[in-house]
Structure 1
Amino acid sequence: MTLNSYIKSNITRLAPVYDTSESRWLIRIILEKLKGWSQTDIMIKGDQDVSAELQFSIDAIIARLLRNEPIQYILGETYWHGLTLKVTPAVLIPRVETSELVDIIVNENKSKDLAVLDMCTGSGCIAIALARTLPFPTVTGVDISEDALHIAGENAALCKVKIHFLKSDVLKPINLPEKSYDIIVSNPPYIALSEMSVMDANVLDYEPHSALFVPDDNPLEFYRAISSSSLRLAKPGGKMYLEINPLFSGQLRDMLKSDGWEDVTIIKDMHGKDRFISAHTAL
Structure 2
Amino acid sequence: MNSYTLRQLFDIIGSSLSELYPVTEVQAIRKLLFEKIVKMPEYRVPLNPNDLLNSDISNRILEILDELKKGNPVQYVIGEADFMDMVFEVNPSVLIPRPETEELVHWIVSNNKDNSPKILDIGTGSGCIAISLAKYISNAKVSALDVSEKALSVAKRNAITNSVNVDFKNGDILELSEFDGAPYDIIVSNPPYVRELEKQLMNRNVKDFEPHLALFVSDNDPLLFYRTIAKKSKNWLSPNGQLYFEINEAFGNEIKDMLISIGFRDVEIRKDINGKDRMAFGRF
- Fold agreement, TM-score > 0.5: yes
Task: Tell me if 1:64 matches 2:63.
Answer: no
Q: Which amino acid aligns with 2:108?
A: I
Amino acid at match of 2:42: Q
Counterpart code for 2:93: A
Provide the C-alpha distance between the structure 2 equivalents of 1:180 and 1:247, rounded to a whole number of angstroms: 31
Task: Look up the equivalent residue of 1:97 and give its one-letter code.
Answer: E
Amino acid at match of 1:47: N
2:225 paired residue number: 222
Which position in structure 1 is the counterpart of 2:131?
128
Task: Look up the match of 1:144.
Answer: 147
Greater CA drift, 12-21 or 74-83 = 12-21
In structure 1, what residue type is equivalent to 2:90? V
Residue type at the aligned position of 1:222:
F
Where do residues 10-21 of structure 1 align in structure 2 (5 Å cutoff)?
Answer: 10-21=13-24
Following superposition, the deviation at residue 280 of structure 1 comes to: 1.0
After superposition, residues 1-283 of structure 1 pair within 5 angstroms as 1-39=4-42, 41-177=44-180, 180-281=183-284
Deviations 1:182-223 (A, max 9, x none): 110000001110011111001001100110110000101111
Structure 2 contact 34–42 (Cα < 8 Å) conserved: no
Q: Deviations over 1:150-185 (max 9, x none)?
A: 111000101100000000101122542475111100
Shift of 1:45: 4.0
Alignment partners' CA distance in 1, 2:89 and 2:255: 32
Q: Which moved more, 1:182-191 or 1:241-250?
A: 241-250
TM-score, scaled to structure 1: 0.93
Counterpart of 2:226, as a letter, is: Y
Contact 1:168 1:174 in 2 (8 A): no
Q: Is the 8 A contact 1:172 1:225 kept in 2?
A: no
Deviations 1:114-149 (A, max 9, x none): 100100011000001111111210000000000110
Answer with 74-83 or 10-19: which moved more.
10-19
TM-score between both structures, scaled by the size of structure 2: 0.93
Q: Which has the higher mean CA deviation after the structures are superposed, 176-185 or 64-73?
A: 176-185
In 2, distance between residues paired with 1:255 and 1:29? 40
Q: How big is each residue's C-alpha offset from its partner over 1:206-251, in whole Å with a ceiling of 9 and x where there is no partner?
A: 1001101100001011111101211111001101001111212222
Q: What is the rounded CA distance, in whole Å, between the counterparts of 2:253 and 2:23 in structure 1?
A: 39
Whether the 8 Å contact between 2:190 and 2:246 is mirrored in structure 1 is yes
List alignment gaps of at least 5 residues for structure 2: none
Q: 2 CA distance for matches of 1:178 and 1:33?
A: 39
The alpha-carbon distance between structure 1 residues 210 and 23, as it changes in their structure 2 partners (threshold 3 A), is: same
Deviation of 1:42 (Å):
4.0
Does the 8 Å CA contact 1:243/1:275 hold for their aligned counterparts? yes
Runs of 5+ in structure 1 lacking a partner?
A: none
- Checking the alignment, whether the CA contact within 8 Å between 1:179 and 1:236 is kept in structure 2 is no
State whether residues 178 and 232 of structure 1, in contact with CA within 8 Å, keep that contact through their aligned partners in structure 2.
Answer: no
Task: Using the aligned pairs only, state the percent identity.
Answer: 38
Aligned partner of residue 66 in structure 2, secondary structure:
helix
Q: Which letter maps to 1:207?
A: E
SS of equivalent residue, structure 1 residue 106: helix
CA distance in 2, matches of 1:97, 1:238: 23
- Aligned in 2, Cα 1:21/1:254: closer, same or farther, shift over 3 Å? closer
Q: Bigger CA drift: 44-53 or 94-103?
A: 44-53
